[in-house]
């Protein structure tokens, strides 16, 4: 699974961090950083993160299990 964040859309709301803390976090400057190839076991969390992004900036690439 590949996670792509459209950084033009992202406004560092951090909602994805609550949904998938293993994949997304805010750095010391409150900017979003993420793991781009997380383990497939985290798919549910990542889909949740994509859903709760107010800017809908998170895209998941790679076929569904």
Q: Which residues bind another protein (CB under 8 A)?
A: 9, 11-15, 17-18, 26, 29-31, 47, 51-52, 54-56, 59, 64
In the complex, what is the shortest distance from the CB of residue 26 to another protein, in angstroms, rounded to a whole number? 5
Contact 33, 25 (CB under 8 A): yes
In the complex, what is the shortest distance from the CB of residue 38 to another protein, in angstroms, rounded to a whole number? 18
The angle at the Cα of 52, spanning 29 to 62, to the nearest 5 degrees, equals 95
Rg (CA), the chain: 11
In the complex, what is the shortest distance from the CB of residue 24 to another protein, in angstroms, rounded to a whole number? 12
Select 13 or 35, whichever has its Cβ closest to another protein: 13
Query: Residue 52: enclosing H or E segment and its boundaries?
Result: helix 43-52
């Amino acid at each position: 699974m590949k996670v792509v964040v459209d950084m033009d859309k992202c406004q560092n709301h951090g909602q994805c961090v609550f949904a998938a803390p293993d994949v997304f976090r805010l750095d010391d400057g409150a900017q979003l950083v993420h793991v781009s190839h997380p383990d497939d076991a985290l798919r549910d969390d990542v889909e949740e993160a994509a859903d709760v992004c107010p800017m809908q900036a998170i895209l998941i690439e790679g076929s569904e299990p």
